[in-house]
């Protein structure tokens, strides 16, 4: 799946094929920020679900595309100034120059962080530059970037992956620092030295890390846990743990992906839990969509139908 996501020949073919529109529509709000804001307003008004905005495009290796990504992140933050929505913008370090000019990633992230601060001034809500986590080779860089943004009092949060053995240490450090952490299982694979490789091990580690993130000690340090999984059993366990350790609803949140198990997200929101959806927008949708397909064999049918469809 990762090879399919990164092949530019496959990407060009898929993104330009007419019948593939259905596949894109399932996981992506639309081609521009207006479509994403529209989706976010509907989610909030009708379902009490919040949004993290993600302009599509990853592992970018051309400076003009890096600039386009930065401009789009700044534009979405600016656009949210007058909306009753969280200014919550997800960013991959490789979108803003990690592969082209790594020394400029920090300055670009700070510019986006400052735009988020300006756009959210005086607005209630949870506003942040959420750093997505890419493959294992960029974890140190991404953590250092996150720490730098926080040192400058910019609104940063970070994604950590349960498939990596190091994550327990990283979670413990960030709990002590009172950070905001989005915990995912991880969309990548790694060698046995650095990673858990079986589904069962990754799930067990995810549960262990949720236990740390929803501990009474994490609550006392001002930590903000974000449980980002579609696994409804783990979600139910997290809610039980939160109750046991004195976390009120809204002091932690659940995050899921647009187009994946929406019934589960809506049920959580109806129970009074804080729920957010990751809402991608833009034209470069293939690498993102193919990873979603890899996460659930049933989505393969949607891919097959889209390939066969002429409309
Ligand atoms: C908000 C958010 C942000 C993320 N950010 C990152 C990131 O920065 N870095 C990173 O490596 N990964 C990221 N991921 C992806 C994550 O690592 C997992 O690959 C993905 O969430 C699948 O694991 P799971 O725990 O949700 O579900 P699983 O344990 O895989 O499955 C639980 C249930 O959900 C269903 N399900 C899961 N995925 C899908 C799908 N795509 N379509 C339909 N049903 C599905 C399964 O069939 C199953 O019933 C993110 C995920 C979320 C929700």
Burial class (CB in 10 A: 0-12, 13-18, 19+), 65: middle
pLDDT digits (tens, 9 = 90+) for 109-153: 999 999 999 999 999 999 999 999 999 999 999 999 999 999 999
| Per-residue confidence (pLDDT) for residue 164, from 0 to 100 | 98
| Per-residue confidence (pLDDT) for residue 2, from 0 to 100 | 64
122: its two tokens: 């005086």
For ligand 1, mutation pick of 88, 180, 230 (most atoms within 8 Å of CB): 230
- Return the residue whose CA atom lies nearest to atom 45 of ligand 1: 296
Q: Which of 132, 276, 284, 291 is catalytic?
A: 132
Return the residue matching tokens 């991608």: 280
Tell how far the Cα of 265 is from the centroid of ligand 1, in angstroms.
13
Atom of ligand 1 at shortest range from CA of 186: 17
Domains of the chain listed by start with CATH number:
29-284 (3.20.20.220)
pLDDT digits (tens, 9 = 90+) for 163-209: 999 999 999 999 999 999 999 999 999 999 999 999 999 999 999 99
ipTM (interface predicted TM): 0.97
As a whole number of angstroms, the distance between CA 234 and CA 154 comes to: 31
| Per-residue confidence (pLDDT) for residue 4, from 0 to 100 | 64
Atom of ligand 1 at shortest range from CA of 278: 1
Is the pLDDT at 87 greater than 80? The verdict is: yes
């Amino acid at each position: 799946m990762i090879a399919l996501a990164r092949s530019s020949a496959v990407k060009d073919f898929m993104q330009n094929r007419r019948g593939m529109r259905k596949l894109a529509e399932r996981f992506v709000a639309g081609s521009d920020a207006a479509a994403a804001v529209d989706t976010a307003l509907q989610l909030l008004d009708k379902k009490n679900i919040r949004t993290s905005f993600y302009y599509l495009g990853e592992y970018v290796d051309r400076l003009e595309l890096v600039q386009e990504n930065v401009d789009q992140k700044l534009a979405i933050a600016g656009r949210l100034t007058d909306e009753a929505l969280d200014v919550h913008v997800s960013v991959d370090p490789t979108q803003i120059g990690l592969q082209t000019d790594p020394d400029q990633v920090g300055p670009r992230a700070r510019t986006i962080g400052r735009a988020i601060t300006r756009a959210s001034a005086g607005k209630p809500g949870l506003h942040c530059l959420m750093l997505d986590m890419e493959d294992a080779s960029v974890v140190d860089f991404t953590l250092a970037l996150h720490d730098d943004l926080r040192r400058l009092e910019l609104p940063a949060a970070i994604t950590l992956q349960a498939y990596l053995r190091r994550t327990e240490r990283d979670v413990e450090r960030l709990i002590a620092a009172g950070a905001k952490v989005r915990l995912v299982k991880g969309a990548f694979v790694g060698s046995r030295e650095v990673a858990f490789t079986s589904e069962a091990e990754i799930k067990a580690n995810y549960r262990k890390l949720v236990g740390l993130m929803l501990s009474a000690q994490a609550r006392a340090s001002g930590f903000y846990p974000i449980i980002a999984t579609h696994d409804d059993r783990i979600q139910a366990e997290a809610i039980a743990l939160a109750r046991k350790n004195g976390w009120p609803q809204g002091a932690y949140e659940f995050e899921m992906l647009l187009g994946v198990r929406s019934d589960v997200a809506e049920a959580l929101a109806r129970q009074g839990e804080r729920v957010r959806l990751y809402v991608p927008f833009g034209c470069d949708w293939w690498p993102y969509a193919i990873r979603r397909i890899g996460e659930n064999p049933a989505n393969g049918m949607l891919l097959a139908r889209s390939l066969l469809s002429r409309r």
